[in-house]
């Protein structure tokens, strides 16, 4: 692969991850499903929780967990490395904010987290997808605002 | 356009948007004017507010509105798509923080917003400019700190 | 340098800065040392504080200052400009959050800052390094939470 092609693949993976964040936060879960490889392995290091199976199971789990919540996820500082024509890995810093959709007036937890995604990507039928994801955290703030 | 040229154009649009944020937050409004096409169309979905006309009118409106405020705008996760040699579109996630310049001691609103910019770009005389901008929000927090 | 090569160099500098943030926040100070040129010049405009000398002195200063603190630094919106085959400069927006590692229960200051890095880069033996760094701030919030 020449330099220009390598850079096109890296840009495509960055845009894949942009869709991951945007479709998650706008709750387009049908579109969000498409960013993952058919089999997806998700692991949260802090919670020692793994979800490993068909991507639809992971999406259903997240959709249920975030019902009634407003989420904001921002990624920065990608370190994408191509391993072959169809395999890549990458690290992203992230911040996420998870709040009740009706704001602090409603009872409910507010979460703010900071950390890194460690991911692998696969190009399947010409399209990059997220195949595995390990989430590490620098910090997780959980607060329970008083109803106003 | 070959792959390398496409990537150069995408990088140029990313740097255009970087100047948009930096010149806004450092209040270099003369420099900020230059990031826009001569005719600029701005639309805030939440407020259903449109400003559509010469870029100077938009810049004057923003400069007046932000007088006495410290602003921080960060963009992440660009999805830039070239439509032709001189047209492109893009989506950015953003967070903005707008606070009284003298800090919470002074009476005044504090705003924190999260959402997306949906933009179009035009290359005019060899320079990319922002032609249209639609702002959607995931969340807007408005607080009125008590004077200390 | 052709367009593809220029873009590869810019991507390499972005990944250098990604390692700067990640190795700092994960406190891998041995790895962090490697992102700097042997002689490193750091200047904080707000504090008018300069540290100019062997990179090991700067790293030791930061490591001591951040002991017992959890840090999160995110960079966005790079404006990287190649000046020659081995010299470049760049601007990054940033946010940093510095909190006691044991959370707000422990007495101690919480800092949140926003601003820009203005940096120069040198390619030494084929590897980009950060040679100089000037930090300007839009805003610095220092709070002293009450022990809970």
> What pTM, to 2 d.p., does this model score?
0.95
How many interface pairs between A and B have CB atoms less than 8 angstroms apart? 56
* B131 and B40 Cβ atoms separated by less than 8 Å: yes
Angle between helices B3-25 and C3-25 (to 10 degrees): 50
Residues of A within 8 A of B7 (CB-CB) are 4, 7-8, 11
Residue A107 has pLDDT above 80, yes or no: no
Cα-based distances in Å from C65 to B123, C60, C61, C69, C98? 47, 9, 6, 9, 11
Q: What is the dihedral of CA C41, C42, C44, C47, to 10 degrees?
A: -80
Query: Chains meeting B at 3+ CB pairs closer than 8 A?
Result: A, C
Percent of chain C with pLDDT over 70: 94
> Does residue B41 contact residue B133 with C-beta atoms inside 8 Å?
yes
**Backbone angle region of B98, left / alpha / beta, with phi > 0 → left and psi within -120 to 50 → alpha:** beta
Is the model's pLDDT at A106 over the cut of 90?
no
pLDDT attached to residue B121: 99
The reply to whether A92 touches chain B by the CB within 8 Å rule is: no
Residue C137's pLDDT is 97
Task: Closest CB to C72: pick one of A3, A4, A114.
Answer: A114
> Is residue B139 situated within a structural domain?
yes
- What are the backbone dihedrals phi and psi of residue C76, each rounded to the nearest 5 degrees, phi first? -145, 165
- pLDDT given for residue C134 in this prediction: 98
Residue span of the structural domain in which B12 resides: 3-143
Q: Is residue A69 part of a domain?
A: yes
Q: Which of residues 50-89 of B touch C (CB under 8 A)?
A: 70-72, 74-76
In a domain, C123, yes or no: yes
Cβ <8 Å between A138 and C17: no
- Rounded to the nearest angstrom, the gap between the alpha carbon of residue B95 and the centroid of all alpha carbons in its chain is 11
Residue C31 covered by a domain: yes
Q: Do A139 and C72 touch (CB under 8 A)?
A: yes
Give domain status of residue B12, yes or no: yes
User: Is any Cβ of chain C less than 8 angstroms from the Cβ of A11?
Assistant: no
Q: Which of B4, B91, B95 minimises the CB distance to A22?
A: B91
Q: Does residue B148 form part of some domain?
A: no
| Distance to chain B for C57, nearest Cα, Å | 31
Looking at the predicted structure, is the pLDDT value of residue C9 above 70? yes
In C, which residues are within 8 Å of B74 by CB distance?
Answer: 74, 76-77, 93, 95
Domain assignment of residue A22, yes or no: yes
Which tokens belong to A28? 């387009």
Question: C2–B3: do the CB atoms touch at under 8 Å?
Answer: no
Identify the band that residue C144 occupies on the pLDDT scale cut at 50, 70 and 90: confident
Q: What is the pLDDT of residues A9-63, one digit of tens each?
A: 999 999 999 999 999 999 999 999 999 999 999 999 999 999 999 999 999 999 9
What average pLDDT score do residues A92-101 get?
95
Look up the ipTM and state it.
Answer: 0.94
Q: Which residues of C touch A7 (CB under 8 A)?
A: 4, 7-8, 11
Q: Quick check: C53 and C74 in contact, CB under 8 A? A: no
Please judge whether B25 and C76 are an interchain contact, meaning their C-beta atoms are less than 8 angstroms apart: no
> What is the per-residue pLDDT for A116?
98
CA neighbor of A116 nearest in space, from B88, C23, C141? C23
Q: What mean pLDDT do residues C116-121 have?
A: 98
How far is B99 from A132, CA to CA, in rounded Å?
40
Q: Do B139 and A70 touch (CB under 8 A)?
A: yes
Question: How many separate domains does chain A show?
Answer: 1
Chain B residues with CB-CB distance to C3 below 8 A: 4-5, 7-8
Chain segment A113-147, per-residue pLDDT in tens: 999 999 999 999 999 999 999 999 999 999 887 65
- Which residues in chain A have Cβ-Cβ distances shorter than 8 Å to C22? 77, 79, 91, 93, 116
Nearest to B74 among C4, C7, C93 (CB): C93
Q: Look at residue A147 in the predicted model and tell me its pLDDT.
A: 57
Q: What residues of chain A lie within 8 A of the CB of C97, using their CB?
A: 114, 139
The pLDDT of residue B103 is 64
- From residue A86, alpha-carbon distances to A123, C10, C11 in Å are 5, 23, 20
The answer to whether C10 contacts B8, with C-beta atoms less than 8 Å apart, is: no
Residue of C nearest to A113 (CA): C72
Instruction: Kindly state the tokens that stand for C50.
Output: 């300069």
Q: What is the pLDDT of residue C26?
A: 98
With 70 as the cut, is the pLDDT of residue C16 above it? Answer: yes
pLDDT in tens, C36-93: 999 999 999 999 999 999 999 999 999 999 999 999 999 999 999 999 999 999 999 9
> What pairs with residue C88 in β-bridges?
C82, C121
Domain assignment present for C43 = yes
DSSP letter at B86? S
More confident residue, C75 or C148: C75
Cβ atoms within 10 Å of A28's Cβ, excluding its own: 13
pLDDT of residue B102: 74
Beta strands per DSSP E along chain B:
36-44, 49-54, 69-82, 87-100, 110-124, 127-143
The pLDDT of residue B101: 86
The pLDDT assigned to B60 comes to 98
- HEC sequence for chain C: CCHHHHHHHHHHHHHHHHHHHHHHHCCCHHHHHCCEEEEEEEEECCCCEEEEEEHHHHHHHHHHHCCCEEEEEEEEEEEEEECCCCEEEEEEEEEEEEEECCCCCCCCCEEEEEEEEEEEEEEECCEEEEEEEEEEEEEEEEECCCCC
Q: Residue A23, exposed/middle/buried by CB under 10 A (0-12, 13-18, 19+)?
A: middle
Query: Domain with C126 in it: what CATH number?
Result: 3.10.450.50
pLDDT the model gives residue A103 = 64
pLDDT at A63: 97
Q: Which stretches in chain B have pLDDT values below 50?
A: none
* Cβ(A78)–Cβ(A117) below 8 Å: no
């Amino acid at each position: 692969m020449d330099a220009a092609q390598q850079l096109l693949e890296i840009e495509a993976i960055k845009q894949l991850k942009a869709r991951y964040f945007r479709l998650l936060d706008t709750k387009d879960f049908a579109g969000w499903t498409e960013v993952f490889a058919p089999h997806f392995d998700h692991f949260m290091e802090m919670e020692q929780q793994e979800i490993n199976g068909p991507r639809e199971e992971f999406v259903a789990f997240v959709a249920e967990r975030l019902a009634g919540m407003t989420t904001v996820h921002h990624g920065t500082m990608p370190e994408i490395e191509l391993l072959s024509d169809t395999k890549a890995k990458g690290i992203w810093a992230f911040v996420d904010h998870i709040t009740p959709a009706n704001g602090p007036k409603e009872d409910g937890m507010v979460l703010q987290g900071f950390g890194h995604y460690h991911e692998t990507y696969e190009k399947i039928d010409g399209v990059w997808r997220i195949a595995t994801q390990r989430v590490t955290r620098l910090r997780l703030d959980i607060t329970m605002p008083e109803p106003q």
